[in-house]
């Protein structure tokens, strides 16, 4: 039996309707910016496997570090024990995070990092003797698939069977030049009529919404208002973190600092799962008490796994290396020149670029979205490029280590696709 036939026997894939889904693709190995299937057919990984493998797949520097760590300490309980990889990682992170961030709390993935942030925010107010139970979030935000994270994500057609169990969430549109005043007044109304605990947002770029980008100054205007109402501002940097938007963290470009930041995805360079929720000392102090019950009683078995911590540390080292800093600028410049090349094409409705993220909207009629998305996907795959269009939006978020020629290959298949849609 082939691997594919054996896969079908027992495996249930994420985000998949198995009845209508075409065959999955077996990936045998990966190196740098390239994935290889069973027939050794190369696929340029144009989205860094969901923004995780930013330093390239199986990066030898990171692999070496993780193997070394594996021979020393594989795992130990993080309640009552600690270890050097976690301590080193906390120091490395605090040195690059926005200056108000002081404490690091571990969990397992992006969704749990958001659930932890929400629980921290609710309990923060509870510990101060206030009952605040409402969360504000963007209409099109995405924060994950566990219950808390799913609740604050923009409503999806797939959420029907869960909606009765959601947290109470009030939604606002993403601010733009032409709706900023409206969004501000909506926000003020919500704050007046509800006991709002937290505002959770993807800073500068809403990933799953289709790389929707908005201005730091506009976000800042909203954060000023929520901060004045003692709302906990939670920046979900699970996608934007670690150098994708031009700065190490998107939050650095915003004047008002977030109280809590969520991190995952490229945190561990794609080597192992891990989520982090970081917070300011003000948040931490509300839990630091003689009263046991004021502590934060949340924990995961694999919290601060030493291998994940080691991969993260090696990733942060690379993030700050001259080679990667240069690569980030180079990719941005190439995105800009590709934009100039295609922006006037009749099939291109709009383009946008921030840091190493590029997105373009195709000018297509609405009822063809699903069909077009699948056609685009298969076209790209046949040409040896892995991209995952979202409806009529094609985006690129390549690993930092992608070569100019690999990136040009992605651009050229996108240009080719413009001729056939
Ligand atoms: C992917 C993502 C999540 C969820 O992370 P998982 O590790 O898939 O649970 C949360 N927030 C944002 C902004 C994301 O992009």
Contacts of 406-414 with C-beta under 8 Å, sequence gap 24+, read 406/33, 406/34, 406/44, 407/331, 407/334, 408/334, 409/44, 409/384, 409/385, 410/44, 410/46, 410/385, 411/334, 411/338, 411/341, 413/379, 413/380, 413/383, 413/384, 413/385, 414/342, 414/360, 414/387
Sign of CA dihedral 360, 363, 366, 371: negative
Percent of the chain with pLDDT over 70: 99
The atom of ligand 1 lying closest to the CA of 240 is 13
Integer angstrom CA distances of residue 23 from 3, 41, 384? 11, 16, 17
**pLDDT score, position 177:** 97
* Ligand 1, CB within 6 Å, residue ranges: 109-111, 114, 142-144, 202, 207-208, 236, 238-239, 264-265
CATH number of the domain that 349 lies in?
Answer: 3.90.1150.10
Give start and end residues of each alpha helix (H) in 24-106. 48-51, 60-72, 84-96
Q: What is the mean pLDDT of residues 386-414?
A: 97
What is the distance between the alpha carbons of residues 169 and 179, in angstroms, rounded to a whole number? Answer: 21
45 plus 119 within the same structural domain = no
228: CA distance to ligand 1 center in Å? 28
**pLDDT score, position 285:** 98
Domain boundary among 265, 289, 319: 319
**pLDDT score, position 21:** 79
Q: Each residue of 165-213: pLDDT tens digit? A: 999 999 999 999 999 999 999 999 999 999 999 999 999 999 999 999 9
**pLDDT score, position 365:** 73
**3-class DSSP state of 166:** coil
Query: Which one, of 357, 268, 278, 354, lies nearest residue 318 by Cα?
Result: 268
139 plus 287 within the same structural domain = yes
260 plus 399 within the same structural domain = no
Q: What is the mean pLDDT of residues 200-227?
A: 98
Is 155's pLDDT higher than 90? no
Domain boundary among 319, 350, 384: 319
Task: Decide: pTM greater than 0.85.
Answer: yes
Q: Each residue of 247-295: pLDDT tens digit? A: 999 999 999 999 999 999 999 999 999 999 999 999 999 999 999 999 9
274: CA distance to ligand 1 center in Å? 11
Domain presence at residue 66: no
Q: Each residue of 329-340: pLDDT tens digit? A: 999 999 999 999
319: CA distance to ligand 1 center in Å? 20
Confidence of residue 366 (pLDDT cuts 50, 70, 90): low
Q: What is the domain extent for residue 219?
A: 73-319
The atom of ligand 1 lying closest to the CA of 264 is 7
DSSP assigned state of 154: P
279: CA distance to ligand 1 center in Å? 18
174: CA distance to ligand 1 center in Å? 18
Q: Each residue of 302-352: pLDDT tens digit? A: 999 999 999 999 999 999 999 999 999 999 999 999 999 999 999 999 999
**pLDDT score, position 159:** 83
The atom of ligand 1 lying closest to the CA of 141 is 13
Confidence of residue 368 (pLDDT cuts 50, 70, 90): low
243 plus 358 within the same structural domain = no
125 plus 18 within the same structural domain = no
Tally of domains in the chain: 2
Domain presence at residue 68: no
Average pLDDT, the chain: 96
340: CA distance to ligand 1 center in Å? 31
**pLDDT score, position 374:** 87
Give the mutation target among 265, 270, 277, 395 for probing the ligand 1 site: most ligand atoms within 8 A of CB.
265
**3-class DSSP state of 103:** strand
Is 369's pLDDT higher than 80? no
Closest-CA residue, ligand 1 atom 15, reads: 239
CATH number of the domain that 242 lies in?
Answer: 3.40.640.10
**pLDDT score, position 367:** 67
């Amino acid at each position: 039996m082939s691997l594919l036939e054996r896969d079908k026997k027992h495996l249930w894939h994420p985000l998949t309707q198995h009845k209508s889904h075409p065959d999955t693709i077996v990936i045998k190995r990966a190196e740098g910016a390239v994935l290889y299937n069973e027939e050794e057919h190369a696929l340029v990984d144009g989205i860094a496997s969901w923004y995780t493998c930013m330093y390239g797949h199986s990066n030898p520097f990171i692999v070496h570090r993780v193997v070394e760590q594996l021979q020393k300490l594989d795992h130990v309980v993080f309640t009552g024990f600690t270890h050097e990889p976690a301590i080193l990682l906390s120091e490395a992170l605090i040195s690059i995070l926005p200056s108000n961030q002081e404490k690091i709390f571990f969990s397992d993935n992006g969704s749990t990092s958001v659930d932890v942030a929400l629980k921290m925010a609710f309990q923060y107010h509870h510990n101060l003797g206030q009952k605040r139970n409402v969360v504000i979030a963007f209409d099109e935000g995405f924060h994950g698939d566990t219950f808390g994270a799913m609740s604050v994500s923009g409503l999806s057609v797939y959420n029907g069977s869960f909606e009765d169990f959601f947290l109470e969430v009030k939604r606002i549109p993403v601010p733009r030049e032409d709706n900023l005043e409206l969004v501000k007044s909506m926000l003020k109304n919500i704050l007046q009529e509800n006991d709002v605990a937290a505002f959770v947002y993807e800073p500068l770029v809403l990933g799953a919404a289709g790389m929707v980008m908005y201005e730091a100054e506009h976000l800042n205007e909203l954060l000023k208002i929520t901060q004045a109402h003692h709302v906990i501002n939670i920046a979900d940097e699970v996608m934007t973190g670690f150098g994708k938007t031009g700065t190490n963290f998107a939050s650095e470009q915003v004047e008002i600092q977030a109280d809590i930041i969520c991190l995952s995805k490229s945190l561990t360079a794609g080597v192992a799962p891990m989520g982090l929720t970081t917070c300011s000392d003000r948040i931490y102090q509300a839990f630091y008490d003689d009263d046991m019950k004021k502590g934060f009683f949340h924990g995961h078995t694999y919290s601060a796994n030493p291998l994940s911590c080691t991969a993260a540390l090696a990733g942060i080292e690379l993030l700050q290396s001259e080679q990667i800093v240069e690569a980030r600028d180079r990719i941005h410049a190439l995105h800009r020149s590709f934009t100039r090349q295609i922006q006037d094409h009749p099939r291109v409705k709009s383009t946008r670029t921030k840091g190493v993220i590029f997105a373009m909207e195709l000018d297509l009629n609405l009822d063809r979205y699903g069909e077009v998305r699948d056609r685009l996907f298969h076209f790209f795959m046949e040409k040896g490029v892995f991209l995952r269009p979202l409806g009529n939006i094609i985006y690129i978020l390549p690993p930092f280590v992608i070569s100019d020629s690999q990136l040009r290959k992605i651009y050229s298949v996108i240009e080719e696709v413009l001729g056939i849609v």
